Structure 1
């Protein structure tokens, strides 16, 4: 079969389950053939070997079950980084890039000391470390597998100013504080949320997705402890659910933070809320 016929067949099979069926098929085939997707437009009539057809079919079947492309390929682009992914961590998403953008907007381009809480793949920590090469960046995660993955991603992207620690939130950070920025994309989904049984999240680790108190337990815990670890006038920033903006703002104000504000994602939904430590 040719590249064109293989892709056309794959589009048909994936179109009912994915809004990005065409891109999904192209990414899977480019992975098998070890070429860029632009190759397909140049050589649509090129024959694909039987071995490569079988390999493509195996990946296609995994995608048909709903398994995310990032897990099938073992990698995902985020910001200007190429990150290794694993089913032990969340898949880095475009919405989370908004958290990075807000940090870059609010803090001057200088040397900072910051920590990324619940770092997963290291996406947030590494993006900020790359943009602020004079800064010292720490990422912490409760899962040792995530810490090892984030360390590999630092090496993969040649980033030397980020380090990663195993920690239950702040427990391993007493000797590292104070920080100019505490930033986090913590678990924030209500355990009863119906979306947990839909789409890619079915394959992602529940511990990285859900939190008690209708999704607010970890945000509340970090907010309560952050003042002990922030430098004077340091910033606290969260990614959260589209319907949690007002609640998170109220929570930060209740804890004494000032300059509290919420920023929207590309879809116009509340996505990032920030606050600044009062005093200093």
Structure 2
């Protein structure tokens, strides 16, 4: 039987081409042993059962092919929540927590009506509901698998008040209006070389790409939002770091004002927020 220290050494060598092989080796072993990372450092000479060692080796070998750690574990932590993930949805990313922070800082009614478009795992909607249980949060996605996953995550995190619907953007929302519409929509160019790199190779293209310039869905959301926002309601969109100027123009042309860009922790343009004040002529 192999001990913890030897198993980690093997995995680090096998994962030498990933960004942080030591961290990923530890994460995968903790998953197999159902322990915290401190256990690995406290008991480096602890022997690992053969069945668990076989499981660990399988995960490491899958990771070597590029499969995302989140898919191997079956979950990703986002905000204060642990969310189940699947290959049917985009893996929640730390950058998207910026949308949650910005939304929570808005001057919205106490019982604000909030819509999360393209919810995927439910990350944004559930994070907002966890912080603002009095908000009326609706989340939609066009994929039935994503809707089912988001509903599972709502149950797991005891956020039963969130309404999760299958809808192609606004198609199932009738005349409903909201104080805030928030979305991390697809915004990658269909021919982007980035799609052939890293974890995104295994994520659904429908959650990533949006036309030649990556802005087709943002254009649609901006146009349709005018019919689904309350007067002075807000729209908050994640986008690519080189798309800020184009997104600003799209929103301005659709009757939005007070448009400003939000930078992420890397000081890159990551999201745009705007307010709907007038009808589009």
Q: TM-score, normalised by structure 2?
A: 0.96
Tell me the CA shift for residue 27 of structure 1. Answer: 1.2
Instruction: Report if aligned partners of 2:108, 2:179 keep a CA contact under 8 Å in 1.
Output: no
Structure 2 counterparts to residues 119-268 of structure 1, below 5 A: 119-175=119-175, 177-268=176-267
Tell me the CA shift for residue 178 of structure 1. Answer: 1.1
Instruction: Report if aligned partners of 1:74, 1:84 keep a CA contact under 8 Å in 2.
Output: yes
Aligned mates of 2:238, 2:258 — CA distance in 1: 17
Tell me the CA shift for residue 110 of structure 1. Answer: 2.4
Tell me the CA shift for residue 33 of structure 1. Answer: 0.8
Aligned mates of 2:278, 2:151 — CA distance in 1: 35
SS in 1 for 2:258: strand
Aligned mates of 2:188, 2:111 — CA distance in 1: 33
Aligned mates of 1:20, 1:232 — CA distance in 2: 47
Could you say which residue in structure 1 is the equivalent of 2:49? 49
Aligned mates of 1:226, 1:108 — CA distance in 2: 17
Instruction: Report if aligned partners of 2:113, 2:135 keep a CA contact under 8 Å in 1.
Output: yes
> What's the Cα RMSD here?
1.2
Could you say which residue in structure 2 is the equivalent of 1:112? 112
Instruction: Give unmatched runs, 5+ long, in structure 1.
Output: none
Tell me the CA shift for residue 109 of structure 1. Answer: 7.4
SS in 2 for 1:91: coil
Tell me the CA shift for residue 152 of structure 1. Answer: 0.2
How many residues are paired up?
278
Are residues 1:5 and 2:6 paired? yes
Aligned mates of 1:52, 1:209 — CA distance in 2: 35
Q: TM-score, normalised by structure 1?
A: 0.97
Aligned mates of 1:260, 1:170 — CA distance in 2: 22
Aligned mates of 1:105, 1:20 — CA distance in 2: 34
Aligned mates of 1:12, 1:213 — CA distance in 2: 40
Write out per-residue CA displacement over residues 217-253 of structure 1, whole angstroms, 9 at most, x where no aligned residue.
Answer: 0000000010100011000110001111111111111
Write out per-residue CA displacement over residues 138-176 of structure 1, whole angstroms, 9 at most, x where no aligned residue.
Answer: 11000000000000000010112211100111010015x
Instruction: Report if aligned partners of 2:189, 2:212 keep a CA contact under 8 Å in 1.
Output: yes
